[in-house]
Amino acid sequence: MRKYLHVFSISLQNVLQRRASLLMDRVGGLAAFLAIYFFWSAVLGSKDAFLGYSRAQMLTYVLAMNLLRAFVFTGRGWELVNEISSGKISSYLLRPISYIGYTLSLDMAQKTVHLVSAVLEVAVLVYLVGAPVYVPQRAETWLLFAAATAASSLIFFLLEFMVSSLAFWTSQSGGPLFCFELFLQFAAGTFFPIDVLPAGLQAALRMTPFPYLVFFPINIFLERVSRGEAAKLLLIQGCWLAAIFLATRLVWARGLKSYAAEGG
Protein backbone atom coordinates (compact mmCIF):
# COMPACT_ATOMS: atom_id res chain seq x y z
CA MET A 1 0.00 0.00 0.00
CA ARG A 2 2.82 2.35 0.91
CA LYS A 3 4.27 2.09 -2.55
CA TYR A 4 1.07 3.42 -4.06
CA LEU A 5 0.98 6.35 -1.64
CA HIS A 6 4.50 7.12 -2.69
CA VAL A 7 3.56 7.04 -6.37
CA PHE A 8 0.74 9.44 -5.49
CA SER A 9 3.07 11.87 -3.81
CA ILE A 10 5.72 11.82 -6.55
CA SER A 11 3.03 12.29 -9.12
CA LEU A 12 1.57 15.20 -7.17
CA GLN A 13 4.96 16.91 -7.28
CA ASN A 14 5.22 16.13 -10.94
CA VAL A 15 1.85 17.69 -11.78
CA LEU A 16 2.61 20.78 -9.71
CA GLN A 17 6.02 21.11 -11.32
CA ARG A 18 4.48 21.27 -14.75
CA ARG A 19 2.45 24.34 -13.90
CA ALA A 20 2.31 25.61 -17.46
CA SER A 21 0.71 22.46 -18.75
CA LEU A 22 -1.72 22.38 -15.83
CA LEU A 23 -2.67 25.99 -16.45
CA MET A 24 -3.32 25.32 -20.14
CA ASP A 25 -5.51 22.37 -19.24
CA ARG A 26 -7.51 24.45 -16.83
CA VAL A 27 -7.85 27.44 -19.11
CA GLY A 28 -9.05 25.20 -21.94
CA GLY A 29 -11.62 23.58 -19.68
CA LEU A 30 -12.62 26.89 -18.20
CA ALA A 31 -13.44 28.36 -21.60
CA ALA A 32 -15.85 25.52 -22.34
CA PHE A 33 -17.29 25.78 -18.86
CA LEU A 34 -17.94 29.51 -19.16
CA ALA A 35 -19.48 29.09 -22.60
CA ILE A 36 -21.91 26.49 -21.32
CA TYR A 37 -22.66 28.53 -18.25
CA PHE A 38 -23.53 31.67 -20.20
CA PHE A 39 -25.42 29.65 -22.78
CA TRP A 40 -27.77 28.30 -20.12
CA SER A 41 -27.89 31.67 -18.46
CA ALA A 42 -29.16 33.16 -21.74
CA VAL A 43 -31.58 30.31 -22.46
CA LEU A 44 -33.11 30.69 -19.05
CA GLY A 45 -33.35 34.46 -19.50
CA SER A 46 -35.66 35.68 -16.83
CA LYS A 47 -37.52 32.36 -16.60
CA ASP A 48 -37.64 30.77 -13.20
CA ALA A 49 -37.79 27.20 -14.46
CA PHE A 50 -36.95 25.26 -17.59
CA LEU A 51 -37.68 21.61 -18.43
CA GLY A 52 -38.33 20.95 -14.79
CA TYR A 53 -35.15 22.60 -13.56
CA SER A 54 -35.34 25.73 -11.45
CA ARG A 55 -33.00 28.50 -12.48
CA ALA A 56 -30.69 27.80 -9.52
CA GLN A 57 -30.77 24.07 -10.22
CA MET A 58 -29.85 24.48 -13.88
CA LEU A 59 -26.98 26.84 -13.21
CA THR A 60 -25.80 24.74 -10.29
CA TYR A 61 -25.86 21.76 -12.68
CA VAL A 62 -23.33 23.58 -14.83
CA LEU A 63 -21.17 24.58 -11.86
CA ALA A 64 -21.21 21.08 -10.41
CA MET A 65 -20.35 19.73 -13.82
CA ASN A 66 -17.10 21.68 -13.78
CA LEU A 67 -16.19 20.05 -10.48
CA LEU A 68 -17.12 16.60 -11.68
CA ARG A 69 -15.25 17.00 -14.91
CA ALA A 70 -12.15 17.79 -12.93
CA PHE A 71 -12.60 14.89 -10.58
CA VAL A 72 -14.10 12.27 -12.87
CA PHE A 73 -12.90 12.95 -16.40
CA THR A 74 -9.18 13.29 -15.86
CA GLY A 75 -7.51 10.10 -16.90
CA ARG A 76 -4.22 8.70 -18.03
CA GLY A 77 -5.67 6.97 -21.07
CA TRP A 78 -3.33 8.52 -23.60
CA GLU A 79 -0.27 7.81 -21.47
CA LEU A 80 -1.40 4.22 -21.13
CA VAL A 81 -1.87 3.85 -24.88
CA ASN A 82 1.56 5.35 -25.33
CA GLU A 83 3.25 3.11 -22.83
CA ILE A 84 1.69 0.04 -24.38
CA SER A 85 2.56 0.86 -27.97
CA SER A 86 6.09 2.05 -27.17
CA GLY A 87 6.81 -0.91 -24.92
CA LYS A 88 7.61 1.34 -21.95
CA ILE A 89 5.09 -0.67 -19.99
CA SER A 90 7.65 -3.48 -19.84
CA SER A 91 9.63 -1.59 -17.24
CA TYR A 92 6.63 -1.76 -14.89
CA LEU A 93 5.84 -5.37 -15.64
CA LEU A 94 9.34 -6.26 -14.50
CA ARG A 95 8.91 -4.68 -11.09
CA PRO A 96 6.85 -5.94 -8.16
CA ILE A 97 4.00 -3.45 -8.54
CA SER A 98 0.51 -3.68 -9.97
CA TYR A 99 0.20 -1.53 -13.04
CA ILE A 100 -3.48 -0.79 -12.43
CA GLY A 101 -2.69 0.31 -8.89
CA TYR A 102 0.19 2.39 -10.14
CA THR A 103 -1.97 4.14 -12.74
CA LEU A 104 -4.74 4.74 -10.23
CA SER A 105 -2.27 6.40 -7.86
CA LEU A 106 -1.01 8.66 -10.62
CA ASP A 107 -4.54 9.46 -11.60
CA MET A 108 -5.58 10.30 -8.06
CA ALA A 109 -2.80 12.87 -7.82
CA GLN A 110 -3.97 14.47 -11.02
CA LYS A 111 -7.58 14.48 -9.83
CA THR A 112 -6.64 16.09 -6.55
CA VAL A 113 -4.93 19.01 -8.25
CA HIS A 114 -7.70 19.46 -10.79
CA LEU A 115 -10.40 19.32 -8.16
CA VAL A 116 -8.77 22.01 -6.05
CA SER A 117 -8.42 24.17 -9.11
CA ALA A 118 -12.04 23.57 -10.20
CA VAL A 119 -13.35 24.49 -6.75
CA LEU A 120 -11.46 27.78 -6.91
CA GLU A 121 -12.79 28.50 -10.40
CA VAL A 122 -16.38 27.92 -9.34
CA ALA A 123 -15.92 30.00 -6.21
CA VAL A 124 -14.56 32.90 -8.25
CA LEU A 125 -17.38 32.64 -10.76
CA VAL A 126 -20.04 32.54 -8.07
CA TYR A 127 -18.46 35.57 -6.41
CA LEU A 128 -18.07 37.57 -9.64
CA VAL A 129 -21.38 37.02 -11.38
CA GLY A 130 -23.41 36.15 -8.32
CA ALA A 131 -24.48 32.81 -9.78
CA PRO A 132 -27.42 31.36 -7.88
CA VAL A 133 -26.31 28.19 -6.14
CA TYR A 134 -28.65 25.43 -5.16
CA VAL A 135 -27.76 24.27 -1.65
CA PRO A 136 -29.04 20.81 -0.65
CA GLN A 137 -31.85 20.89 1.90
CA ARG A 138 -31.23 17.48 3.40
CA ALA A 139 -28.01 16.82 5.26
CA GLU A 140 -27.58 13.26 3.97
CA THR A 141 -27.56 14.55 0.41
CA TRP A 142 -23.92 15.56 0.82
CA LEU A 143 -23.01 12.04 1.83
CA LEU A 144 -24.95 10.42 -1.01
CA PHE A 145 -23.40 12.84 -3.46
CA ALA A 146 -19.89 12.13 -2.21
CA ALA A 147 -20.45 8.39 -2.52
CA ALA A 148 -21.91 8.72 -6.01
CA THR A 149 -19.01 10.91 -7.12
CA ALA A 150 -16.37 8.55 -5.75
CA ALA A 151 -18.02 5.61 -7.52
CA SER A 152 -18.39 7.58 -10.72
CA SER A 153 -14.73 8.50 -10.64
CA LEU A 154 -13.76 4.84 -10.32
CA ILE A 155 -16.15 3.82 -13.10
CA PHE A 156 -14.57 6.34 -15.41
CA PHE A 157 -11.07 5.26 -14.47
CA LEU A 158 -11.83 1.62 -15.18
CA LEU A 159 -13.70 2.29 -18.41
CA GLU A 160 -10.89 4.42 -19.73
CA PHE A 161 -8.32 1.89 -18.61
CA MET A 162 -10.21 -0.86 -20.39
CA VAL A 163 -10.60 1.07 -23.63
CA SER A 164 -6.95 2.17 -23.55
CA SER A 165 -5.75 -1.38 -23.10
CA LEU A 166 -7.25 -2.24 -26.47
CA ALA A 167 -3.93 -0.80 -27.64
CA PHE A 168 -2.53 -4.26 -26.92
CA TRP A 169 -4.33 -5.47 -30.02
CA THR A 170 -4.87 -2.62 -32.45
CA SER A 171 -2.08 -0.94 -34.31
CA GLN A 172 -4.09 2.30 -34.47
CA SER A 173 -3.84 2.21 -30.73
CA GLY A 174 -5.42 5.57 -29.99
CA GLY A 175 -8.55 5.05 -32.13
CA PRO A 176 -10.80 3.33 -29.61
CA LEU A 177 -9.88 5.81 -26.90
CA PHE A 178 -10.62 8.78 -29.12
CA CYS A 179 -14.12 7.51 -29.99
CA PHE A 180 -14.76 6.64 -26.39
CA GLU A 181 -13.91 10.11 -25.14
CA LEU A 182 -16.07 11.78 -27.74
CA PHE A 183 -19.11 9.66 -27.05
CA LEU A 184 -18.68 9.83 -23.32
CA GLN A 185 -18.91 13.59 -22.98
CA PHE A 186 -22.25 13.49 -24.68
CA ALA A 187 -23.68 10.39 -23.04
CA ALA A 188 -22.65 11.27 -19.53
CA GLY A 189 -24.43 14.59 -19.53
CA THR A 190 -21.46 16.93 -19.42
CA PHE A 191 -22.83 19.41 -21.94
CA PHE A 192 -26.46 19.35 -20.77
CA PRO A 193 -28.60 17.24 -18.46
CA ILE A 194 -29.69 14.20 -20.42
CA ASP A 195 -33.33 14.72 -19.50
CA VAL A 196 -33.52 17.50 -22.09
CA LEU A 197 -33.03 14.78 -24.75
CA PRO A 198 -35.91 13.02 -26.61
CA ALA A 199 -37.53 10.31 -24.48
CA GLY A 200 -36.39 7.37 -26.62
CA LEU A 201 -32.75 8.39 -26.55
CA GLN A 202 -32.95 9.10 -22.85
CA ALA A 203 -34.36 5.67 -22.13
CA ALA A 204 -31.57 4.08 -24.12
CA LEU A 205 -28.89 6.08 -22.33
CA ARG A 206 -30.32 5.15 -18.96
CA MET A 207 -29.54 1.52 -19.74
CA THR A 208 -25.84 2.34 -20.00
CA PRO A 209 -23.38 3.22 -17.24
CA PHE A 210 -22.76 6.69 -18.67
CA PRO A 211 -25.47 8.70 -16.88
CA TYR A 212 -24.06 7.38 -13.62
CA LEU A 213 -20.90 9.37 -14.24
CA VAL A 214 -22.22 12.92 -14.09
CA PHE A 215 -25.94 13.15 -14.59
CA PHE A 216 -27.16 11.07 -11.67
CA PRO A 217 -24.62 12.30 -9.13
CA ILE A 218 -25.61 15.89 -9.88
CA ASN A 219 -29.29 14.98 -9.72
CA ILE A 220 -28.69 13.57 -6.28
CA PHE A 221 -27.01 16.82 -5.30
CA LEU A 222 -29.85 18.91 -6.71
CA GLU A 223 -32.30 16.70 -4.80
CA ARG A 224 -34.30 16.05 -7.92
CA VAL A 225 -34.61 12.47 -6.74
CA SER A 226 -36.05 11.29 -3.47
CA ARG A 227 -33.96 9.68 -0.77
CA GLY A 228 -35.19 6.24 -1.81
CA GLU A 229 -34.49 6.84 -5.48
CA ALA A 230 -31.03 8.13 -4.63
CA ALA A 231 -30.29 4.92 -2.73
CA LYS A 232 -31.53 2.89 -5.66
CA LEU A 233 -29.35 4.84 -8.09
CA LEU A 234 -26.34 4.28 -5.88
CA LEU A 235 -27.07 0.58 -5.81
CA ILE A 236 -27.27 0.35 -9.59
CA GLN A 237 -24.13 2.44 -9.84
CA GLY A 238 -22.41 0.00 -7.49
CA CYS A 239 -23.46 -2.88 -9.74
CA TRP A 240 -22.06 -1.09 -12.78
CA LEU A 241 -18.83 -0.48 -10.91
CA ALA A 242 -18.50 -4.15 -10.02
CA ALA A 243 -19.32 -5.31 -13.55
CA ILE A 244 -16.90 -2.85 -15.13
CA PHE A 245 -14.22 -3.79 -12.63
CA LEU A 246 -14.50 -7.45 -13.61
CA ALA A 247 -14.57 -6.65 -17.31
CA THR A 248 -11.52 -4.42 -17.03
CA ARG A 249 -9.59 -7.06 -15.17
CA LEU A 250 -10.45 -9.60 -17.83
CA VAL A 251 -9.48 -7.36 -20.74
CA TRP A 252 -6.26 -6.37 -18.99
CA ALA A 253 -5.28 -9.95 -18.23
CA ARG A 254 -5.91 -10.97 -21.83
CA GLY A 255 -4.00 -7.94 -23.06
CA LEU A 256 -1.00 -8.86 -20.95
CA LYS A 257 -1.21 -12.37 -22.24
CA SER A 258 -1.15 -11.25 -25.82
CA TYR A 259 1.68 -8.85 -25.00
CA ALA A 260 3.69 -11.74 -23.55
CA ALA A 261 3.01 -13.75 -26.68
CA GLU A 262 3.78 -11.08 -29.23
CA GLY A 263 5.96 -8.31 -27.96
CA GLY A 264 7.25 -7.62 -24.50
Number of residues that bind ligand ATP (CB under 6 A): 2
What's the rounded Cα separation, in Å, for the pair 58 and 52?
9
Asked whether position 263 contacts ligand ATP by CB under 6 A, the answer is yes
Give, as ranges, the residues between 106 and 165 that touch ligand ATP (CB under 6 A): none
Indicate which single residue of 128, 198, 200, 262 sits in contact with ligand ATP (rule: CB under 6 A): 262
Least separation, in Å, of the C-beta of 263 and ligand ATP? 4
What's the rounded Cα separation, in Å, for the pair 5 and 8?
5
Q: Is 160 exposed, middle or buried (0-12, 13-18, 19+ CB in 10 A)?
A: buried
With respect to other proteins, which residue has the nearer C-beta, 99 or 245? Answer: 99
Asked whether position 87 contacts other proteins by CB under 8 A, the answer is yes
Q: Are strands 49-50 and 53-54 parallel, antiparallel or unpaired?
A: antiparallel
Handedness of CA 88, 22, 66, 180 (dihedral sign): negative
Asked whether position 171 contacts ligand ATP by CB under 6 A, the answer is no
3-state SS, residue 50? strand
With respect to ligand ATP, which residue has the nearer C-beta, 48 or 262? Answer: 262
Give, as ranges, the residues between 138 and 157 that touch other proteins (CB under 8 A): none
Indicate which single residue of 16, 17, 146, 202 sits in contact with other proteins (rule: CB under 8 A): 17
The secondary structure of residue 164, as a DSSP letter, is H
Least separation, in Å, of the C-beta of 262 and ligand ATP? 6
Least separation, in Å, of the C-beta of 245 and other proteins? 21
Asked whether position 96 contacts other proteins by CB under 8 A, the answer is yes
What's the rounded Cα separation, in Å, for the pair 106 and 108?
5
Taking CB under 8 A as the binding criterion, the range among 43-51, 128-136, 215-223, 254-262 that sits at the site for other proteins is 254-262
The secondary structure of residue 211, as a DSSP letter, is G
Asked whether position 20 contacts other proteins by CB under 8 A, the answer is no
Distances 38 to 23, 31, 76, 93, 218 between C-alpha atoms, Å? 22, 11, 30, 47, 19
Least separation, in Å, of the C-beta of 93 and ligand ATP? 14
Single out the residue of 221, 73, 79, 236 nearest to residue 146, CA to CA. Answer: 221
With respect to ligand ATP, which residue has the nearer C-beta, 52 or 263? Answer: 263
Least separation, in Å, of the C-beta of 251 and other proteins? 18
What's the rounded Cα separation, in Å, for the pair 70 and 121?
11
Q: Where does this chain bind ligand ATP (CB under 6 A)? A: 262-263
